[in-house]
């Protein structure tokens, strides 16, 4: 077992042991790709979402060149009119079994491919798009060349069959419609990763609906509503945090690829002429945000997508990737995509009947334009997992070797409050201190067992500070503050605990 796998196993074990993350419905054997957050996990995840909402929506950064811009939020329904997903391109070809060509990366509907084969069924076969004369023509020419015969004589020697009637074991002999090499077609697979459900009591095709596979479309669908109700002006952004669902074929790596997950997405609308400037601004802003929350920059790798990787409508896209312990390669935390006017035009066309239905007026030139969109789309669960793996520390010289070095803003518990012993009137002093602190921060009071065990428990929870009330507190009115990261101690006046926390946490 590799060292990184071992580390990952320790992290998963700690998450379970301390109540960060459990497998969903474990008592019934679990369900792959679904996870529950426990008492500590929910605090961590909530802190992450609060940080994002605060830093991006409530108090957004200043734009390039000191420009101000507005940010507003929405919270859209998970189930939407299925037409949303037709317009966005999520349904359509994706409901049916598909065949991929490994060479050309083209994807074909399995029921729309035919194959030209020799009457004996032997030798190479030639696939083409059914009812596409041009594609069939190309296949026939290639077949004629292969069989060293004329296209006229070919009809005598060959027969046409539907791809779906062939055994997948014969696929290595098939030449794809656009391929140069033989045997590059995959077996037909269902590619609709959207969860289906039914709205209303009747379960038929007219009531079919989908759980959203991304939060973005709810924002696009409400673009006009937000424009009309809030007096925002281009450039501005709409943010949303919410659950999305993808029926992943193969969920792996703890919570990294889950079937139910939460997203934090911004759709930023701007003048096409300035779109690249805003794209670069958001890419850099988002990278800095992760660094500000304790992700080391050397583990954070922005990866600019090459032209061949980009969606056809996209001008640029950067995946902000993080080096998780479960892989030698960095994995995507967030995608910052320049989506052009693709989405607004698609919905304008589908819902309003013309592509420019969502155009806005340029005050200076009095011309109408469809805004371009910059989309920083982050995975809440992925960043939660990244902050956990980043925080995980091991020092065999400590009494409690494992500890979680969370950034103070993210730490689930901000402080522990302990009477050194549960007698001599110490709990009576400690309890009011705790009652005062908990009004402002999530804290924990513990009087059980030895002080060492209590510190160790707080280390595993990632609590940055512990206040310990001892006999000197009675005499001098001071308490011990114990620091999680180096186990160092200092004494402060017991009345200064809240002030101390505010100062050290920076919040």
Partner RNA sequence: GCGGGCGUAGCUCAAUGGUAGAGCAUCAGCCUUCCAAGCUGAAUGUUGACGGUUCGAGUCCGUUCGCCCGCUCCA
The footprint of RNA (CB under 7 A) covers: 1-2, 5, 8, 13, 16-17, 23, 29-32, 90, 94, 100, 102, 186, 191-194, 213, 246, 248-250, 252-254, 257, 326, 398-400, 402, 420-424, 448-453, 455-457, 459-460, 468, 470-471, 479-480, 482, 487-489
d(Cα 214, Cα 192) in Å, to the nearest integer?
Answer: 14
Residue closer to RNA by CB (options 73, 427) is 427
Nearer to RNA, 136 or 402 (CB): 402
* Bridging pattern class, strands 97-100 and 260-270: unpaired
Q: Closer to RNA at the Cβ: 123 or 452?
A: 452
User: According to DSSP H, which parts of 111-258 are helical?
Assistant: 133-146, 151-157, 216-221, 223-230
Q: How far is the CB of 327 from RNA (least distance, A)?
A: 7
**Cα(3)–Cα(45) distance, integer angstroms:** 27
Residue 402: CB minimum distance to RNA, A: 6
Smallest gap from Cβ 277 to RNA, in A, equals 27
Cα–Cα distance, 342 to 151 (Å, whole number): 43
Helix/strand/coil for 127: strand
Distance CA 270, CA 358 (A): 13
Q: Are 183 and 115 a contacting pair, CB within 8 Å?
A: no
> Residue 351 or residue 421: which is nearer to RNA going by CB?
421
The residue among 240 and 468 lying less far from RNA, judged by its C-beta, is: 468
Say if residues 238 and 270 touch (Cβ distance below 8 Å): no
CA distance 198 to 201: 8
Quote the CA–CA distance of 170 and 121 in Å, as a whole number.
10
Q: Cβ of residue 137: shortest distance to RNA, in angstroms?
A: 28
- Indicate the residue among 8 and 144 with the shorter CB distance to RNA: 8
377/480 with CB nearer RNA: 480
In the bound state with RNA, the residue whose beta carbon lies nearer, of 6 and 291, is 6
User: Minimum distance between the CB of residue 432 and RNA, rounded to whole angstroms?
Assistant: 17
Which CB sits closer to RNA, 159 or 449?
449
**Rounded-to-integer distance, Cα 325 and Cα 393, Å:** 12
Mapped onto helix, strand or coil, the DSSP state of residue 322 is strand
Length of the chain: 507
d(CA 142, CA 124): 10
Helix (DSSP H) and strand (DSSP E) numbers for the chain = 14, 27
Task: Name the residue among 454, 457, 450, 443 with its Cα closest to residue 402.
Answer: 457
Q: Which residue has the tokens 């083209």?
A: 106
Of 151 and 449, nearer to RNA (C-beta) is 449
User: Can you tell me the distance from the alpha carbon of 306 to that of 319, in angstroms, rounded to the nearest whole number?
Assistant: 11
d(C-alpha 89, C-alpha 459), whole Å? 47
For residue 266, cis peptide bond before it (omega within 30 degrees of 0)? no
CA atoms of 222 and 257, how far apart (whole Å): 28
412 token code pair: 């689930």
């Amino acid at each position: 077992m590799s060292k990184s796998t071992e580390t990952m196993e320790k992290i998963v074990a700690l998450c379970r042991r301390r109540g960060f993350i459990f497998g969903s419905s474990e008592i019934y054997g679990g369900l792959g790709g679904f996870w529950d957050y426990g008492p500590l996990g929910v605090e961590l995840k909530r802190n992450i979402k609060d940080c994002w909402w605060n830093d991006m929506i409530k108090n957004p950064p200043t734009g390039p060149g000191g420009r101000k811009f507005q940010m507003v939020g929405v919270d859209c329904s998970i189930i939407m009119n299925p037409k949303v997903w037709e317009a966005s391109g999520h349904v359509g070809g994706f409901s049916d079994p598909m065949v991929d060509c490994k060479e050309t990366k083209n994807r074909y509907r399995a029921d729309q491919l035919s194959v030209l084969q020799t009457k004996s069924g032997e030798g190479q076969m030639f696939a083409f798009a059914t009812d596409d004369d041009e594609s069939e023509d190309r296949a026939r020419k290639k077949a004629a060349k292969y069989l060293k015969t004329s296209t006229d004589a070919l009809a005598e020697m060959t027969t046409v069959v539907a791809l779906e009637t062939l055994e997948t074991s014969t696929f290595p002999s098939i030449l794809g419609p656009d391929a140069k090499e033989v045997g590059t077609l995959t077996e037909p697979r269902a590619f609709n990763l959207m969860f289906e459900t039914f709205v209303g009591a009747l379960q038929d095709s007219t009531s079919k609906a989908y759980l959203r596979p991304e939060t973005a479309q709810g924002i696009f669908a409400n673009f006009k509503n937000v424009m009309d109700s809030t007096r925002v002006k281009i450039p501005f952004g709409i943010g949303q945090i919410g659950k999305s669902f993808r029926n992943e074929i193969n969920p792996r790596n703890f919570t990294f690829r889950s079937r139910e997950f939460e997203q934090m997405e911004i759709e930023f609308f701007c003048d096409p002429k300035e779109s690249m400037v805003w794209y670069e601004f958001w890419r850099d802003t988002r990278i800095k945000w992760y660094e500000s929350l304790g992700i080391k920059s050397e583990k954070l790798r922005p990866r600019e997508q090459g032209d061949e990787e980009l969606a056809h409508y996209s001008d640029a896209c950067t995946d902000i990737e993080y080096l998780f312990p479960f892989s030698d390669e960095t994995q995507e935390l967030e995608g910052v995509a320049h989506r052009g006017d693709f989405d607004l035009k698609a919905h304008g066309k589908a819902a309003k009947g013309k592509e420019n239905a969502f155009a806005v007026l340029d005050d200076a030139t009095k011309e109408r334009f469809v805004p371009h969109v910059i989309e920083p789309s982050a995975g809440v669960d992925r960043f939660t997992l990244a902050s956990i793996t980043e925080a995980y520390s091991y020092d065999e010289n400590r009494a409690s070797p494992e500890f979680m070095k969370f950034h103070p803003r993210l730490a689930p518990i901000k402080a522990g409050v302990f009477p050194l012993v549960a007698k001599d009137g110490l709990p009576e002093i400690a309890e009011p201190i705790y009652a005062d602190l908990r009004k402002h921060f999530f804290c924990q009071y513990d009087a059980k067992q030895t002080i060492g065990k209590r510190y160790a428990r707080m280390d595993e929870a990632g609590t940055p500070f512990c206040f310990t009330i001892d006999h000197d507190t009675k005499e001098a009115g001071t308490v011990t503050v114990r620091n999680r990261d180096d186990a160092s101690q200092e004494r402060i006046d017991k009345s200064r605990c809240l002030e101390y926390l505010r100062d050290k946490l920076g919040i």
